[in-house]
Chains A and B, each alone.
Chain A
Amino acid sequence: MLLRHTLTEVKERKALTINPAKTCQPIGAMYAALGIHGCLPHSHGSQGCCAYHRSALTRHYKEPVMAATSSFTEGSSVFGGQSNLIQAINNIFTIYEPDVIAVHTTCLSETIGDDVDQIVAKAIDDGKVPEGKFVIHASTPSYQGSHVTGYANMLKGIVKAFSKSSDINRAQLNIIPGWVEPSDMREIKRLANMMGVKFVMFPDTSDVLDAPQTGKHVMYPAGGTTIPELQTTGDSAHTLALGEWCTKAAAQDLDRSCKVSYDILDVPIGIKATDRYIMALAKHGKADVPELVTAERGRVVDIITDMEQYLHGKTVALWGDPDMLIPLTEFLVDVGMKPKYIVSGTPGKQFKLKLDAILKDAVPDAKIANGPQADMYLMHQWIKNEKVDLLIGNTYGKYIARDEDIPFMRMGFPILDRVGHSYFPTVGYTGAMRILEKILGLFMDRQDRDAPEEKFELVM
């Protein structure tokens, strides 16, 4: 057994986190910044932070993830990181020539109290930021929230730096996706385009972290929201923010600073969340839903009605980020499954409230935990007490899946041991089909594996 020490008896822990269902803020800021075209993320802290974040993102995307670091030493930790950051800004613009440097802080630079606003202002005064280039920043202390918070904070940094209102009213929407895959960003755009809605989406990691193999490496791939696009977001008619944890703060800031009204929606995972996204596009984009979109929806429903017997009553344990777990839970309930254990390391009171609302009739005894010590160890303990039929979560679930012999669908971050997530979406109606295909495949493979010879089915 790989997790041979996991105890069945659940006892409250106050201090020790075991097998976390989250990681720290800066990696989220790095990922969000990669969704700006021509942007080099910069980690203001020790080298290790940058190395770890780049490694984790690279293992997940199997793509180059470029980012620089302030390379703190003991000296900079004592005297402050100002000279490191100013030097870094100068070196980055000289050597790597990005359009934007997106600085995020770390627990180190936050603890010593570096004022990045002031340091960047000084860099500009010192002439280290070339004409037409930008240094934006986000405060991302690792000891608050999670990687999700870091993503949200970098979006706030983007809004602060680029969103300005002018006299022009633009008949366009802002679409702010939460932390989803490049494939999902592509799908969110595709649906908006099918609806004929004009929009600016930020961030956009499609064509950045799913870049084609061309035989040429470019520091700044074709994708990402461009600066001119970002500069129009303050004049947009409305904002659709997809995923409360990741995007609410940026949408609110846009409203506050530029008077762009907003809707907070779920990430469009599953039928109903996608329906809500489509309805919002229709309403705020003043568009009709085209027949093609209706047909896509109909195909998902067709799979569900055809295959309902394999899904009904199946219990699921899932972990990951709130913005994924909430609509995913809703979808699983919609297809007749029973999400039984749900864990997120990311804090936030709304998590339990929202899930309770979804689950109160379908799975009243579901166990839900988030925040400190809501970890995969706890989830494993619950499973040891009462098994489930399916696991859904990031790659770390494979250890539980193997020990407990439970089918396992990878979804979330990070996925270190499979490809596909960056290419095939799980959002939208096509994403819902992919989720169904995966779940059904897992259950049917399991049935094929376990069926006695006389009960082995040809047709399923």
Chain B
Amino acid sequence: MVDKKEFPNPEEFKKEILEKYPTKVARKRAKSMVPVSEEGTAPLIQANVRTVPGIITQRGCSYAGCKGVVLGPTRDIINITHGPIGCGFYSWLTRRNQTKPETPEAENYMAYCFSTDMQEENIVFGGEKKLREAIQEAYDMFHPKAISVFATCPVGLIGDDIHAIAAQMKEKFGDCNVFAFSCEGYKGVSQSAGHHIANNQIFKHVVGNDDTVKEGTYKINMLGEYNIGGDAFEIERILDKCGITLISTFSGNSSIDHFANSHTADLNTVMCHRSINYMADMMETKFGIPWIKVNFIGAEASAKSLRKIAAYFEDKKLMKRVEEVIREELPAVEEVIAQIKPKTEGKLAMLFVGGSRAHHYQELFTEIGMETVSAGYEFGHRDDYEGREVLPTIKLDADTRNIEELKVEPDPERYNPRKSEKQLEKLAKEHDLEFSGYQGMSRMMKKNAMIIDDISQWETEKWIEYYKPAVFCAGIKEKYAVQKMGVPLKQLHSYDYGGPYAGFKGAINFYKDIERITTTKVWDLISPPWDYSNGIKADLVSNG
């Protein structure tokens, strides 16, 4: 067991792991595996680069990031996958995005999977006709307010012009927004490319379509929160209690109507920086809405995020209300921590997941006294590790350059800077508010903690052998291999079908789940009684 007070220097073991690789692979992987040399600093890490072919990776594709992650949670868009049946099938309800339509009749297509189910003749002669027919059939049957089209790998290769078809159908219908995403699976190096593509198209085709100003004094958007296991419901509860009006969430428990209206908010709060920072930047440029990084994973983090929002609005009443809410919510949290912490304190966690979760969930572990000895993202970029200040120094490779970067200008009529430069500076100084900033994961980690980007199956098994953590956090593909090693795996994509884990109530759920999985006796059942000692075995043999 690794001493929690002082993590061992992992460089030697890293060498042992790399020895298994062919030389070129070892050289490449070495740059994506770096320990924290000094607490509070962020080492240079290689991230958002291609996975080496043949390496068993956690990563998925651009389509998964676009259709699955960003657009999946929105209930009232008919999402048509244009391609062979698989991609639509695999992204059908599997991400656990919960949604609660306003009424029992309101549009909700979440439980449906729509696909053009391309056949060989569509690949040979083109799939445009079939796509057009499919959009028409969806419109005729359901009369939705929006239809979107997602390209799968072959679509880009055969050259179907999905954007032209979407534009034509939109014009033809008149009362249905139709738009498309060129999110072919081979774009970029991971899901991350798909996030960017999703951000671009939603920004272009939806954001700003409805100028209705909703009631509310403190109006914000929540960006990069996908309502896995009901996280968004808990965040909505807390914001509502504080009197903060949530105009739109991108995209947990969301409606396309919320997106259309989101430019009327006065602050963008960013949860998952990786998947949605593009939207925050573009909305700031076009509409003048500043953004701050928040984190509602962890009770302390939630309290801190609420205080940041209140500080931004510079309103005593709101600040007071936020403090009241925190005072009301925290005792229940602290009570559970007091019960659980003695059992979890000093235990080690490893987190390899997502583009923000490997960072955010460290807060929850810290609250119950656990240490994150090693962590990394599946599809993060350097800025998610090292902070946004490294952005200008990141070299754009071909894979990134192939993803469209929208040129955004201030809207001639609607650009309205919510705060002046001076106000922003003052807020930054007096309330420690960082605008358009993110510090990244690495500098919150301890000395010698091992940071690993795009961890492979081989590395996963070796680092588990080395650290023997009490819990390993990743996803479904990793779960049962890790558990076969006798180490519980907590899924941080699906929450193992539990949750919510966000906000105050979510924190309590998480502490209890971690207490359960790190103290359960079920693992003791693995060894059969005849395997306990050689003595017993010998007995059995001699008696037999």
Considering the chains assembled together, what is the distance between the CA atoms of A142 and B90 in angstroms? Answer: 13
Residue from B120, B188, B484 within 8 A of A64 (CB atoms):
B484
Distance to closest chain B CB from A40 (angstroms): 8
Q: Is the CB of A71 within 8 A of B53?
A: yes
Considering the chains assembled together, what is the distance between the CA atoms of A68 and B61 in angstroms? Answer: 14
Q: Is the CB of B64 within 8 A of A51?
A: yes
Distance to closest chain A CB from B343 (angstroms): 22
Q: Is there a chain B Cβ closer than 8 Å to A292's Cβ?
A: no
Q: Is the CB of B153 within 8 A of A47?
A: no
Q: Is the CB of B85 within 8 A of A108?
A: no
| Residues of chain B with a CB closer than 8 A to A65's CB | 477
Q: Is the CB of B477 within 8 A of A58?
A: yes
Interface residues of A in 85-136 (CB under 8 A from B): 85, 87-92, 94-96, 106-108, 111-112
| Residues of chain A with a CB closer than 8 A to B461's CB | 217
Q: Is there a chain B Cβ closer than 8 Å to A143's Cβ?
A: yes
Q: Is the CB of B153 within 8 A of A64?
A: no
Residue from B58, B64, B134 within 8 A of A52 (CB atoms):
B64
Q: Is the CB of A62 within 8 A of B94?
A: no
Residue of A nearest to B402 (CB): A74
Q: Is the CB of A55 within 8 A of B90?
A: yes
Q: Is there a chain B Cβ closer than 8 Å to A418's Cβ?
A: no
| Residues of chain B with a CB closer than 8 A to A56's CB | 90, 94
Q: Is the CB of B113 within 8 A of A96?
A: no
Q: Is there a chain A Cβ closer than 8 Å to B84's Cβ?
A: yes
Decide: A58 near B479, CB < 8 A? Known: A4-B105, A24-B89, A91-B25: yes
Q: Is the CB of B152 within 8 A of A107?
A: yes
Considering the chains assembled together, what is the distance between the CA atoms of A75 and B80 in angstroms? Answer: 26
Q: Is there a chain B Cβ closer than 8 Å to A213's Cβ?
A: yes
Q: Is there a chain B Cβ closer than 8 Å to A26's Cβ?
A: yes
What 1/0 flags go to B132-147 for Cβ under 8 Å of A?
1110111001100000
Q: Is there a chain B Cβ closer than 8 Å to A14's Cβ?
A: yes
Considering the chains assembled together, what is the distance between the CA atoms of A418 and B159 in angstroms? Answer: 42
Q: How large is the interface on A (under 10, 10 to 19, 20 to 34, 35 or more residues)?
A: 35 or more
Q: Is there a chain A Cβ closer than 8 Å to B114's Cβ?
A: yes
Considering the chains assembled together, what is the distance between the CA atoms of A432 and B84 in angstroms? Answer: 35
Distance to closest chain B CB from A136 (angstroms): 16
What 1/0 flags go to B494-509 for Cβ under 8 Å of A?
0000000000000000
Decide: A94 near B20, CB < 8 A? Known: A3-B111, A87-B54: yes
What 1/0 flags go to B66-100 for Cβ under 8 Å of A?
00000000000000100111111111111000000
Considering the chains assembled together, what is the distance between the CA atoms of A68 and B51 in angstroms? Answer: 11
Q: Is the CB of A345 within 8 A of B85?
A: yes
Distance to closest chain A CB from B350 (angstroms): 15
Q: Is the CB of B476 within 8 A of A58?
A: yes
Interface residues of A in 206-256 (CB under 8 A from B): 211, 213-218
Residue from B58, B112, B477 within 8 A of A3 (CB atoms):
B112
Distance to closest chain A CB from B195 (angstroms): 13
Residue of A nearest to B459 (CB): A95
Q: Is there a chain A Cβ closer than 8 Å to B392's Cβ?
A: no
| Residues of chain A with a CB closer than 8 A to B157's CB | 77, 108, 111-112
| Residues of chain B with a CB closer than 8 A to A49's CB | 61, 86, 185
Residue of A42, A47, A69 contacting most chain B CB atoms (<10 Å): A47
| Residues of chain A with a CB closer than 8 A to B141's CB | 5, 7, 11
| Residues of chain A with a CB closer than 8 A to B406's CB | none
Q: Is there a chain B Cβ closer than 8 Å to A46's Cβ?
A: yes
| Residues of chain B with a CB closer than 8 A to A141's CB | 84, 120
Q: Is there a chain A Cβ closer than 8 Å to B482's Cβ?
A: yes
Distance to closest chain B CB from A423 (angstroms): 15
Considering the chains assembled together, what is the distance between the CA atoms of A137 and B526 in angstroms? Answer: 37
Distance to closest chain A CB from B122 (angstroms): 7
Q: Is the CB of B20 within 8 A of A95?
A: yes
Residue from B53, B109, B484 within 8 A of A85 (CB atoms):
B53
Residue of B nearest to A76 (CB): B186
Q: Is the CB of B485 within 8 A of A215?
A: yes
| Residues of chain A with a CB closer than 8 A to B480's CB | 58, 62-64
Q: Is there a chain A Cβ closer than 8 Å to B22's Cβ?
A: yes
Distance to closest chain B CB from A320 (angstroms): 14
Residue from A5, A213, A396 within 8 A of B92 (CB atoms):
A396
Q: Is the CB of A24 within 8 A of B477?
A: no
Considering the chains assembled together, what is the distance between the CA atoms of A172 and B213 in angstroms? Answer: 78
Decide: A216 near B485, CB < 8 A? Known: A16-B138, A91-B25: yes
Residue of B94, B153, B481 contacting most chain A CB atoms (<10 Å): B153
Q: Is the CB of B153 within 8 A of A1?
A: no
Decide: A15 near B54, CB < 8 A? Known: A47-B61, A51-B60: no
Residue from A2, A20, A107, A213 within 8 A of B113 (CB atoms):
A20
Residue from B62, B83, B158, B398 within 8 A of A75 (CB atoms):
B398
Residue of B nearest to A64 (CB): B481
Q: Is the CB of A399 within 8 A of B123?
A: no
Considering the chains assembled together, what is the distance between the CA atoms of A87 and B153 in angstroms? Answer: 21
| Residues of chain B with a CB closer than 8 A to A68's CB | 53-56
Q: Is the CB of B185 within 8 A of A20?
A: no
Residue from A3, A73, A74, A143 within 8 A of B123 (CB atoms):
A143
- 24 A-B pairs with CB atoms under 8 Å apart are A19-B92, A23-B90, A24-B84, A25-B86, A45-B153, A47-B57, A47-B185, A47-B190, A48-B61, A48-B64, A64-B480, A64-B484, A71-B52, A73-B399, A74-B398, A75-B399, A91-B55, A95-B55, A96-B458, A108-B154, A111-B123, A112-B157, A213-B483, A372-B119
In the A-B complex, the 4 residue pairs with the smallest Cβ-Cβ separation, listed nearest first, are A48-B61, A24-B86, A88-B54, A91-B54
Contacts A16-B80, A47-B51, A146-B85 supplied; 9 other A-B pairs, CB < 8 Å: A16-B114, A17-B88, A49-B61, A52-B87, A71-B53, A75-B399, A85-B53, A141-B84, A377-B112
